[in-house]
């Protein structure tokens, strides 16, 4: 067994735990009382320590132990969760990360002084200063780093409690509402309540002021029995409360099989074994028929069975159906193979229909169905939720705003939105740029905000939503907004505009994407150097996405990124010009109309056409790509939406929809930006995929140059 592989498995796990730790800490900062979160932090640290020691990362284990010790106190309520504690723990997290980096990558060793400082700080927080702890030295000798203690207290594992709550009939007279108590129980954890109504008299005999009902509550929660007793603390004398821990003792012993109904009733004393024997056949109903138990009791017992079963199942699935870690290059090659399969399948379809054999066509159709399913499945494997990326920004916002003396709250929404792994990987840097900009230039300092009558705490919203075959990611701040006039002035100063240029507000906003453009008066180490937004735009376009800015002066700025769901396969429209095939992304296509000679003549040589009263400019693919030959009598215009404008592309023939597996053209065609790639057709030929946005932009530039527009 190779030791190298083992440690890499540990570091990978540790990195994951660390990011989980970071998330939990940030959440904890917002809800310092949340016991569940404190436990989560503790558990993450505990695991890092334990497996760290196991894999020989002794320094990591020792250091983590120190942090864990302090957090253990926080968990037991000895010390409160305060901002300094969270700050230090976050710093400790970074330190652990640095230590791991150093150990794994052989990079610079982690700064020991920093570690000592963190530990000293943490120790200062704990009420009982350790005697003889070595004056803040990291390697506390008392730390049993080699074998982490199995200090997993009871509260870590969820328990099932059965609570029999039978209020005294006159409980209402004391003003107690049992329902409120039940609600309180519900807040403790997953709760199921069965009402016991056997004492309920006939309606005529009913006294509205008497409580006839009792309840059985099955509570699954990570709490102790005392927490439940606390709920009933004021009514203890006025009712009968029976709390029993169901798991551990009994359930865990016979975990292979959930308990039988009869057994449960028997144990609960609702029925004795003789009665049970008698009624053993179809159990529940028989017992009721025989008048041995009331239907409510059976119902309660059934619920109990269900709850235990569920927990058991959950445990089982947690054990077996966890995720599988796969190196991403394996996934990449899977996607490649599926891509080839899609191509071959198109070829099979074409061949089958040209041969005309019915059986073969049936097979081809079946293969088509399977291929489509396989493709969708493969693509979904590559889909990741965006929340990991979002969560990273919580830290960024927190640290940066503190550094800049601003108070900013980050709100995220739509974290469950799924995107292709490649897109997510490449989305990180652009988003960092945008959010940094929002923090630095967007949101004002608390004083200015107060002066403008705004909430001193700024707000940045990060949201993702699906929109057709795209995902929209919105970064919205409620800061100062963009000043179109100032942008314009700056543009003129930088020589990007001439003073007489008329600009719409929207066009002025687009200036922020120009290279070397920054309106920040002073350069901070955060932003203001004017590199950034142009890089952002380029990387988003590299992902076949687009970027849009909207802003209201004084109210805030919204930047919207539109990204494709996947990069590997798109729906395309296959068109033909003089025997050459091209693919247009179908998502952009709106309609196809005919272009006759007559239409062309009517426009007097101008490349525009009247479609139902709307003037639409068009680009001739034939002349754009210098393809020879003469166009047919009637050409086709594919009208697409490009940059929110309708533009036509003239081709000889529209062939039809095409599942397009995108192959990059590679560096050798880096100047051919009008193509986003190539795809292989059913007949084995190659078709180029058009990048309509870039093409329109180039045509516009060239025409402006020819017509000598300044």
Q: Which residues bind another protein (CB under 8 A)?
A: 339-340, 343, 580-581, 624-627, 663-675, 677-678, 680, 684-688, 698, 701-702, 705-706
Give the contacts of 510 (CB within 8 A, at least 6 positions apart): 549
Q: How far is the CB of 623 from another protein (least distance, A)?
A: 11
The residue among 478 and 674 lying less far from another protein, judged by its C-beta, is 674
- Residues 174 and 210: beta-carbon distance below 8 Å: no
Residue 146 CA to residue 574 CA, distance in Å, equals: 65
DSSP class of 259: P
Q: How far is the CB of 222 from another protein (least distance, A)?
A: 51
The residue among 292 and 687 lying less far from another protein, judged by its C-beta, is 687
Give the contacts of 85 (CB within 8 A, at least 6 positions apart): 70, 74, 79, 122, 125
Residue 42 CA to residue 592 CA, distance in Å, equals: 61
Q: How far is the CB of 686 from another protein (least distance, A)?
A: 4
Residue 627 CA to residue 219 CA, distance in Å, equals: 74
The residue among 351 and 385 lying less far from another protein, judged by its C-beta, is 351
The residue among 242 and 672 lying less far from another protein, judged by its C-beta, is 672
The residue among 435 and 688 lying less far from another protein, judged by its C-beta, is 688
The residue among 491 and 677 lying less far from another protein, judged by its C-beta, is 677
The residue among 605 and 684 lying less far from another protein, judged by its C-beta, is 684
Give the contacts of 411 (CB within 8 A, at least 6 positions apart): 459, 460, 461, 462
Query: Alpha carbon of 703 to those of 157, 292, 617, 691, 707: distances in Å?
Result: 70, 93, 13, 18, 6
Q: Which residues lie across from 324 on neighbouring strands?
A: none
Give the contacts of 13 (CB within 8 A, at least 6 positions apart): 47, 51
Q: How far is the CB of 536 from another protein (least distance, A)?
A: 22
The residue among 339 and 585 lying less far from another protein, judged by its C-beta, is 339
Residue 291 backbone class (left: φ over 0; alpha: ψ -120 to 50; beta: rest): left
- Helix axes 83-105 and 58-75, enclosed angle (nearest 10): 160
What phi and psi, each to the nearest 5 degrees, are found at residue 279? -105, 20
First-to-last C-alpha distance (Å) of the chain:
70
Residue 437 CA to residue 460 CA, distance in Å, equals: 11
Adjacency order of strands within the sheet including 214-221: 190-196, 214-221, 159-167, 239-245
Q: How far is the CB of 553 from another protein (least distance, A)?
A: 36
Residue 283 CA to residue 500 CA, distance in Å, equals: 91
DSSP labels, 331-345: HHHHHHHHHHHHHHH
The residue among 316 and 538 lying less far from another protein, judged by its C-beta, is 538
Residue 578 CA to residue 617 CA, distance in Å, equals: 22
Q: How far is the CB of 615 from another protein (least distance, A)?
A: 24
Give the contacts of 160 (CB within 8 A, at least 6 positions apart): 218, 219, 220, 245, 246, 247, 251, 307, 308, 311
Q: How far is the CB of 669 from another protein (least distance, A)?
A: 6
Q: How far is the CB of 160 from another protein (least distance, A)?
A: 56
The residue among 347 and 459 lying less far from another protein, judged by its C-beta, is 347
Q: Which stretches of 197-257 are assigned E, i.e. beta strand?
A: 214-221, 239-245
Give the contacts of 239 (CB within 8 A, at least 6 positions apart): 165, 166, 167, 168, 171, 232
The residue among 290 and 686 lying less far from another protein, judged by its C-beta, is 686
Residue 486 CA to residue 450 CA, distance in Å, equals: 23
User: Is 592 exposed, middle or buried (CB count within 10 Å of its CB: 0-12, 13-18, 19+)?
Assistant: middle
Residue 289 CA to residue 233 CA, distance in Å, equals: 38
The residue among 62 and 674 lying less far from another protein, judged by its C-beta, is 674
- Please say whether the dihedral angle defined by the alpha carbons of residues 424, 681, 333 and 379, taken in this order, is positive or negative: positive
The residue among 446 and 617 lying less far from another protein, judged by its C-beta, is 617
Q: How far is the CB of 702 from another protein (least distance, A)?
A: 4
The residue among 590 and 702 lying less far from another protein, judged by its C-beta, is 702
The residue among 6 and 703 lying less far from another protein, judged by its C-beta, is 703
The SS3 assignment for 595 reads: strand
Q: How far is the CB of 685 from another protein (least distance, A)?
A: 7
Residue 133 CA to residue 667 CA, distance in Å, equals: 60
Query: Alpha carbon of 454 to those of 441, 459, 524: distances in Å?
Result: 16, 11, 24
Q: How far is the CB of 626 from another protein (least distance, A)?
A: 6
Q: How far is the CB of 680 from another protein (least distance, A)?
A: 5
The residue among 525 and 668 lying less far from another protein, judged by its C-beta, is 668
- Residues 637 and 609: beta-carbon distance below 8 Å: yes
Q: How far is the CB of 426 from another protein (least distance, A)?
A: 16
Q: How far is the CB of 670 from another protein (least distance, A)?
A: 5
DSSP labels, 36-78: HHHHHHHHHHHHHHHHHHHTT-HHHHHHHHHHHHHHHHHHTTS
Q: How far is the CB of 346 from another protein (least distance, A)?
A: 12
Q: How far is the CB of 369 from another protein (least distance, A)?
A: 22
Longest dimension (CA), the chain: 104
Q: Which residues lie across from 476 on neighbouring strands?
A: 461, 558
The residue among 212 and 698 lying less far from another protein, judged by its C-beta, is 698
Q: How far is the CB of 507 from another protein (least distance, A)?
A: 22
């Amino acid at each position: 067994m190779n030791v190298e592989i083992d440690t890499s498995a540990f570091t990978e796990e540790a990195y994951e735990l660390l990011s989980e730790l970071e998330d939990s800490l940030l959440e904890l900062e917002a809800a310092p009382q949340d016991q569940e979160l404190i436990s989560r932090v503790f558990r993450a640290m505990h695991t890092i320590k334990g497996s760290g020691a196991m894999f020989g990362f002794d320094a990591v284990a020792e250091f983590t132990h120190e942090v864990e010790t302090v957090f253990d106190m926080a968990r037991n309520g000895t010390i409160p969760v305060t901002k300094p504690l969270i700050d230090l723990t976050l710093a400790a997290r970074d330190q652990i990360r640095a230590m791991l980096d150093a150990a794994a990558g052989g990079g610079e060793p982690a700064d020991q002084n920093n570690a000592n400082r963190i530990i000293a700080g943490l120790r200062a927080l704990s009420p009982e200063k350790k005697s003889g702890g070595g004056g803040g030295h990291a390697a506390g000798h008392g730390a049993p780093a080699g074998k982490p203690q199995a200090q997993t207290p009871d509260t870590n594992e969820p328990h099932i409690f059965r609570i029999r709550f039978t209020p005294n009939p006159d409980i209402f007279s004391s003003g107690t509402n049992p329902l409120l108590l039940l609600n309180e129980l519900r807040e403790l954890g997953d709760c199921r309540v069965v009402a016991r109504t056997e004492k309920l008299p006939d309606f005529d005999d009913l006294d509205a002021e008497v409580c006839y009902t009792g309840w059985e509550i099955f509570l699954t929660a990570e709490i102790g029995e005392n927490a439940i007793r606390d709920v009933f603390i004021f009514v203890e004398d006025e009712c009968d409360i029976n709390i029993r821990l169901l798991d551990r003792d009994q359930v865990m012993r016979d975990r292979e099989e959930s308990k039988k109904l009869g057994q449960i009733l028997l144990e609960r004393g609702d029925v004795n074994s003789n009665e049970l024997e008698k009624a053993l056949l179809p159990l529940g109903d028989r017992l009721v028929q025989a008048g041995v138990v009331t239907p409510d009791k059976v119902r309660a017992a059934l619920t109990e069975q269900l709850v235990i079963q569920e927990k058991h199942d959950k445990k089982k699935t947690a054990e077996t159906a966890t995720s599988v870690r796969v190196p991403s290059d394996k996934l990449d090659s899977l996607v490649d193979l599926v891509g080839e399969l899609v191509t071959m399948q198109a070829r099979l379809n074409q061949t089958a229909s040209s041969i005309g054999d019915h059986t073969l066509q049936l097979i081809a159709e079946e293969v088509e169905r399977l291929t489509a399913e396989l493709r969708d499945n493969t693509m979904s494997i590559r889909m990741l939720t965006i929340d990991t990326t979002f969560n990273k920004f919580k830290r960024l916002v927190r640290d940066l705003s503190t550094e800049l003396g601003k108070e900013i709250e980050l709100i995220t929404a739509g974290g469950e939105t799924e995107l292709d792994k490649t897109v997510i990987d490449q989305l990180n840097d652009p988003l960092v740029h945008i959010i940094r900009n929002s923090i630095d230039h967007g949101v004002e300092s608390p004083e200015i905000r107060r002066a403008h009558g705004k909430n001193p705490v700024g707000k940045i919203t990060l949201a993702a939503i699906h929109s057709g075959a795209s995902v929209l990611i919105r970064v919205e701040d409620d800061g100062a907004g963009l000043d179109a006039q100032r942008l314009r002035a700056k543009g003129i100063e930088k020589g990007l505009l001439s003073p007489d240029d008329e600009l719409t507000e929207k066009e002025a906003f687009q200036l922020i994407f120009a290279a070397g453009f920054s309106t920040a008066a002073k350069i901070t180490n955060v932003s203001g150097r004017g590199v950034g937004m142009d890089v952002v735009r380029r990387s988003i376009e590299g992902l076949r996405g687009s970027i849009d800015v909207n802003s209201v002066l004084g109210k805030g700025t919204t930047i919207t990124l539109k990204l494709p769901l996947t990069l590997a396969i798109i729906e395309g429209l296959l068109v033909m010009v003089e025997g050459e095939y091209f693919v247009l992304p179908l998502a952009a296509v709106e309609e196809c109309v005919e272009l006759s000679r007559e239409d062309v003549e009517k426009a007097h040589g101008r490349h525009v056409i009247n479609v139902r009263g709307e003037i639409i400019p068009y680009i001739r693919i034939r002349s754009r790509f210098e393809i020879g030959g003469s166009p047919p009598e009637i050409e086709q215009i594919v009208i697409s939406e490009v940059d929110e404008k309708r533009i036509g592309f003239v081709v000889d023939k529209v062939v039809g929809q095409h599942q397009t597996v995108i192959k990059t053209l590679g560096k050798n065609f880096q100047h051919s930006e009008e193509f986003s790639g190539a795809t292989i057709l059913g007949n084995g030929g190659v078709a180029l995929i058009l990048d309509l946005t870039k093409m329109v932009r180039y045509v516009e530039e060239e025409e402006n140059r020819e017509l000598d527009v300044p």
